[in-house]
Amino acid sequence: MSTGSPSIATVPTAKPLEPMPGITADDDRLPQKPMQWLALMVVAAFVGAGAGLVGGVFRLALVWLDDSRTNMVQMVYAHVPHWIGWLIPTALCAAGAYISVWLTQTLSPQTAGSGIPRVEAALRTHLAPVGAVILPVKFIGGVLSIGSGLALGREGPTVQMGGTIGRIVGDWLRRIIPEPWTLIAAGAGAGLAVAFNAPLAAALFVMEELLHRFSARVFSATLIACITGTVVLRAVVSNATDFSVASFGNVPAGVLPNYLLMGIVAGFLGVAFNVTLLAALRLFDCADRWPRGIKGAVVGAAAGLLAWYAPRDVGGGESLAQFALSTHVAIQLMVMLLLIRFALTMTSYGCGAPGGIFAPLLALGALLGNAYASATAYVTHVPTAPAAYAIVAMAACFTSIVRSPLTGVVLLLEMTGGWTLILPMMAASLTAYAVPELLGNPPIYDSLRERDELKEKELRSRKGKS
């Protein structure tokens, strides 16, 4: 640590809603006194348990709404004439998305979108952490947006809510834990662990993506929070992996070039995802003068109409990914589903509804892998395992979009239990990482974080002039 840097014990605690000073002065070591280390671990465990409880209830609410939406469509389809029946899911999903975006724009604009870039910016002292209002707004808004069929992920809300819980606990215990960013990072990691039942991947994500460096202090607190959060989640929800897949044998070395090639395809899909998502945000910015919530209503209506014809294809995408992992279907169907989900993901995120991109991009990866397996079987006349290709493609797409390959591989291992696929996942992630890097396409969270910081500066500038 440099001579002029303050020690951890003397770093001032940030005032509420102000950027946190001193994060760059963290010497990354564990507390030297045993009681300080014990206090940090106990508080981090408490933060993780809080994130686990909130995230577990959030997941239960999404499952209930997802089932209710599907049952509603089936009931309407059976009892209402088809020429008018489609209006019911269209109107209900439009209303849910409208309320979600209206709440976000009215009460807490910082809750729009994923929330992960916002947490990342707060940890790097570029933006102030959001106040406690984010908890009800992100919870209700996320449940309504994803429950209304928008293609958004549950991990964005759980990460931001977990980080907020860490911030609140840090403010309460500022004399015991003088560095607030440690608990924010721990809470955010626990939020991701709860979203996917993947504690190790969540701890790695904090280091690989949120901090972009290793800190023994933050990693130990995050790991404890992820463990306790996952324990609470499994008590509330279940102990099963998120995806159910058949066991695989070891992949022959001769097949690895095929996975490397698929990684290149995933890399181009990742570039298209990042470029189109930012373009969608800019496009929806042009409608900022519309009444609050209208952008959400338009996208919600489109999701409701799609739900009338294909209930499985809307929402977060978990059921669609499971379909791609379990079924060998024609490549034409998979490509069509891929294009539909791609468009729905772009518009869902662009309208400003609260929700993440992890789950939607994993669904896109599963569809890509299944289609690639079908194409490979057609060209080589050799049967392929679509589930294996789908899992590997999910990791590769995650890497190309987020640019966190270690997190992507471990995340898919924890979500599927496909440990024998670790080598092809690493190989495909390597080429998937190379494509956007060679094309000069930045990681999506870097772009979204810079966008949030720019909007915050513009807002402060307007307030200063008024």
Cα distances (Å, whole numbers) of residue 300 to 91, 297, 384: 8, 5, 37
Q: What is the pLDDT of residue 265?
A: 97
Please determine, for residue 21, whether its predicted confidence score (pLDDT) is greater than 70: no
Under DSSP, is residue 456 helix (H, G, I), strand (E, B) or coil? helix
- Rounded to whole angstroms, how far apart are CA atoms 263 and 110? 34
Give the pLDDT score at 217. Answer: 86
Sequential DSSP letters for 403-442: --HHHHHHHHHHHH--GGGHHHHHHHHHHHHHHHHHTTPP
pLDDT at residue 5 is higher than 50: no
Q: How confident is the model at residue 71 (pLDDT cuts 50, 70, 90)?
A: very high
Query: Are 226 and 199 in contact, with CB atoms under 8 Å apart?
Result: yes
**Average confidence (pLDDT) over 195-219:** 90
Q: What is the dihedral of CA 408, 315, 116, 238, to 10 degrees?
A: -70
What would the two tokens of residue 288 be? 């900022």
The residue ranking higher by pLDDT, 71 or 180, is 71
Instruction: For the chain, give the number of residues.
Output: 466
Which residues, in sequence order, are bridge partners of residue 354?
Answer: 113
Tell me, what's the pLDDT at 129?
Answer: 66
8 A C-beta contact, residue 105 and residue 318: no
The neighbour count for residue 434, using CB atoms within 10 Å, is 15
Mean pLDDT lowest for which of 141-150, 295-304, 370-379, 435-444? 370-379
How much is the pTM? 0.89
Residue 15, pLDDT > 50, answer no
Provide the sign of the torsion angle of the four alpha carbons 362, 365, 371, 372, taken in this order: negative
At 1, the pLDDT band (50, 70, 90 cuts) reads very low
Query: Residue 428's pLDDT is what?
Result: 96
Provide φ and ψ at 354, rounded to 5°: -75, 130
Q: Tell which wins on pLDDT, 77 or 180.
A: 77
pLDDT for 293 equals 92
Query: What pLDDT does residue 30 have?
Result: 67
Amino acid 14: pLDDT:
41
Helices (H), 237-255: none
Instruction: Please give the residue that has the higher pLDDT: either 241 or 268.
Output: 268
Reported confidence tier of residue 4, pLDDT bands at 50, 70, 90: very low
User: Residue 244: what pLDDT?
Assistant: 80
8 pLDDT higher than 50: no
Least confident of 210-219, 267-276, 442-451: 210-219
pLDDT digits (tens, 9 = 90+) for 263-273: 999 999 999 99
Average pLDDT across the chain, whole number: 87
Mean pLDDT of the region 346-375: 94
Percent of all residues in the chain with a pLDDT value above 70, rounded to a whole number: 90
User: CB neighbours of 122 closer than 8 A, spacing ≥ 6?
Assistant: 19, 20, 128, 129, 130, 163, 181, 184
pLDDT at position 104 over 50: yes
Contact 358, 159 (CB under 8 A): no
Cβ partners under 8 Å of residue 2, min gap 6: none
Question: pLDDT tens, 146-184?
Answer: 999 999 999 999 999 999 999 999 888 887 777 778 899
- Closest by alpha carbon to 160, among 181, 182, 129? 129
* Residue-level pLDDT at 192: 96
pLDDT at 185 over 90: yes
Question: Does residue 256 carry a pLDDT above 70?
Answer: yes
pLDDT at residue number 16: 42
CA–CA distance, 42 with 228 (Å, rounded to integer): 10
Of the candidates 83, 84, 131, the residue with the CA atom closest to the CA atom of residue 111: 131
pLDDT at residue 430 greater than cutoff 90: yes
Confidence of residue 326 (pLDDT cuts 50, 70, 90): confident
Mean pLDDT of 80-103: 94
